[in-house]
Amino acid sequence: MAKAAGQEEKDFDVVMGELCPACSQKSLALMEREQEIPFFGKVFLFSMTCSSCKFHKADVECAEQREPVKCSIEVSGSDDMSIRVVKSSQATVKIPYVADILPGESSNGYVTNIEGILQRVKHQVEVVRDTEEDEAAVQKAKSLIKKINRAVWGDEKLKIIIEDPGGNSAIISDKAAVEKLKVKSPA
């Protein structure tokens, strides 16, 4: 596999036959890889996948400690679709007037681009469209799918916000606004 200029990576380290937290079978594969992401730094990519029950969990962590971060960008054209995004499992992704991707037990971390984020959201909205019985919800889903498609084609502007209390997420672009995330302390 060819590597992008300036991008260093090593193959995944794999441990097979671990106990799956979902089905308790010894069929879990643990994988780890470190990767250098230009303009962001070294990250560790982790994943676990069970060959028995198909349980999957993935995350991204920075090699160095980072402050809580809030990144935002206005997507205004098809050229923006290739902007690199790093999202940890702790991060919340907000697309105002479209959808939010909330962290939780089943949340995954990943390295993608703006189009990848929009395609993930579109897929979730398509599930609602195809399974919802309420006609108003189906119509709203169809409208959101059209909005997402127009944004991917560069015909509509969208704002994307990523809030990460662990600081392991980023939108890697000069167009992105980056600020410290104000984290609420536990009561």
Quick: pLDDT tens for 171-185: 999 999 999 988 776
| CATH code (residue 130) | 2.60.120.1040
Residue 13 has a pLDDT of 85
Question: Does 79 lie in the same domain as 58?
Answer: no
Distance CA 2, CA 161 (A): 31
59: in domain: yes
Give the residue from 64, 84, 117 where a domain finishes.
64
Question: Does 153 lie in the same domain as 95?
Answer: yes
Question: Does 154 lie in the same domain as 73?
Answer: yes
Domain count, the chain: 2
Question: Does 39 lie in the same domain as 101?
Answer: no
Distance CA 114, CA 133 (A): 31
174: in domain: yes
Domain range for 164: 65-182
Give the residue from 10, 35, 64 where a domain finishes.
64
187: in domain: no
- What does the pLDDT average to over 78-83? 94
Distance CA 56, CA 19 (A): 13
- What does the pLDDT average to over 69-95? 93
pTM of the model: 0.77
Computed over every residue of the chain, the mean pLDDT equals 87
φ, ψ for residue 136 (rounded to 5)? -65, -40
Give the pairing of strands 84-87 and 170-172: antiparallel
Question: Does 28 lie in the same domain as 91?
Answer: no
The predicted-structure confidence for 133-151, as pLDDT tens digits, reads as follows: 999 999 999 999 999 999 9
Distance CA 75, CA 148 (A): 11
Q: Is the pLDDT score of 1 beyond 50?
A: no
On whether the CB atoms of residues 166 and 181 are closer than 8 A, the answer is no
23: in domain: yes
Most confident of 63-72, 95-104, 145-154: 145-154
Residue 185 has a pLDDT of 61
Q: Is the pLDDT score of 29 beyond 90?
A: yes
Question: Does 73 lie in the same domain as 1?
Answer: no
Give the residue from 64, 84, 115 where a domain finishes.
64
Question: Does 162 lie in the same domain as 91?
Answer: yes
Question: Does 82 lie in the same domain as 10?
Answer: no
Residue 179 has a pLDDT of 92
What pLDDT band is residue 162 in, cutting at 50, 70 and 90?
A: very high
Q: Cα 90–95–98 angle (5° rounding)?
A: 125
Question: Does 89 lie in the same domain as 116?
Answer: yes
Give the pairing of strands 92-95 and 28-37: unpaired
Amino acid letter, 97: Y
